[in-house]
Homo-oligomer: A and B are copies of this chain.
Amino acid sequence: MGSAMATRLVQAGHEVMVYNRTAAKLAPLVALGAQPAQSITAVAQHGAVVLSMLADDAALAAVACQPDGLLASLPRGGIHVAMGTHGVAAVEALEQAHRAAGQELVCAPVLGRPEAVTAGRLGVLAAGEATAVARVRPLLESLGRRVFDLGAEPRAAAATKLANNILLACAIEAMGEAFSLVQKCGATPAAFYDVLTDGLFASPAYTIYARIITDQSWDKAGFTVALALKDVELALAAGGRAAVPLPSTDVCRQRLLGAIAHGDIRKDWAAMALEQARACGLA
């Protein structure tokens, strides 16, 4: 994902310095004109804006807090744009640390996969101190189709990304329940697919996942059960922190855990519907 994003920034004419723990991964970007860095410090000291795209909160904390990390090396007034999907607690802690160091954190998770970046269809959810967001907005606009302004609190962008993901989790759970109900009442999945994708729900969330459920094609994972569980748990943790009970999100977590208990951890998370099928004796 980071690679697709850096490619797009270079192609848009931005001067880009890139860093990856595995230096070899940088070769294609360097071929396009990006400047390779040997360390996080090198990146931080090169420009006033650093974008991170990291897999989880632990990686984000490491990149920010390790001795040669962003907190130590980004100049005062520098901006860290965290673009991964992160937890609210991690973003709050990081925001405070950057502020204490005279830096700014902009939280800017994205909606879309690498293909969406390449196709210029990425959505970017940006939140942070207004001047900082304004400064990085041109960069974010280069990255995708639309930049959403989520306000002055970085955590609001993190929460919005997580909320979007639980909407999808709940939609898949609901499809699993609906498919199993109609099947046990004599309808075929294919017939139900036609009904549900025809009107009220004619959007990618439903057409894509209803297709996978109908075809039982969860072995080809676009987004695994394991990754889905991570995001759902981040959403629940955000709810815990903000005192927001999220009962149908809890159902999604239960479903994902059940899927894992039955060996589906590497399947596409549409396998939530397989787990529901098991729960009612259909699979």
**Binary contact track A172-215/B, C-beta < 8 Å → 1, others 0:** 01110111111011111001101110111111111000000000
Question: Which residues of chain B have C-beta atoms less than 8 A from A280's C-beta?
Answer: 242-245, 257-258, 261
For the complex, is A239 an interface residue (Cβ under 8 Å from B)? yes
Interface check A70, CB cutoff 8 A:
no
Pick the contact of A185: B112, B179, B242, B257 (CB < 8 A): B242
The reply to whether B156 and A186 form a contact with Cβ atoms under 8 Å apart is yes
Please count how many residues in chain A sit with their CB below 8 Å of the partner chain's CB atoms. Answer: 84
For residue A157, which residue of chain B has the nearest CB? B187
Least Cβ–Cβ distance between A34 and chain B, in angstroms: 28
Q: Measured between C-beta atoms, what is the minimum distance from A174 to chain B in Å?
A: 3
**A220-240 contact mask (Cβ, 8 Å, vs B): 1 or 0:** 000000000100010100111
Q: A150-B187, A160-B192 are in contact. Are A198 and B123 (CB under 8 A)?
A: yes
Which residues of A pack against B, CB within 8 Å?
88, 111-112, 123, 125, 127, 146, 148-153, 155-160, 162-164, 166-168, 170-171, 173-175, 177-182, 184-188, 191-192, 194-196, 198-206, 229, 233, 235, 238-240, 242-255, 257-258, 260-263, 279-281
Instruction: Tell me the minimal C-beta distance from A255 to chain B in angstroms.
Output: 7
Given A174-B171, A244-B181, A245-B258, A195-B239 contact (CB < 8 Å): no
- With contacts A160-B187, A181-B246, A257-B239 taken as known, whether A171 is within 8 angstroms of B168 at the C-beta atoms is no
Contact residues of A: prevailing secondary structure: helix
A204 CB to nearest B CB, Å: 5
A203 to B202, CA, bound (A): 5
**Residues of chain B contacted by A162 (CB below 8 angstroms):** 181
In angstroms, Cα B164 to Cα A194, docked, is 11
Give the shortest distance, in Å, between A193 (CB) and chain B (any CB).
10
Given contacts A163-B181, A168-B200, list 10 more A-B pairs with CB under 8 A. Answer: A123-B195, A157-B187, A163-B182, A167-B196, A177-B244, A181-B246, A243-B258, A245-B257, A247-B251, A261-B280
Q: A111-B195, A173-B170, A195-B148 are in contact. Are A244 and B184 (CB under 8 A)?
A: yes
CA gap between A249 and B191 in the complex, in Å: 21
Most buried by B among A188, A203, A253: A203
Contact between B146 and A198, CB atoms less than 8 A apart: yes
Given known contacts A159-B187, A191-B160, A177 and B249 CB-to-CB distance under 8 angstroms? yes
CA A112 – CA B195 in complex, angstroms? 12
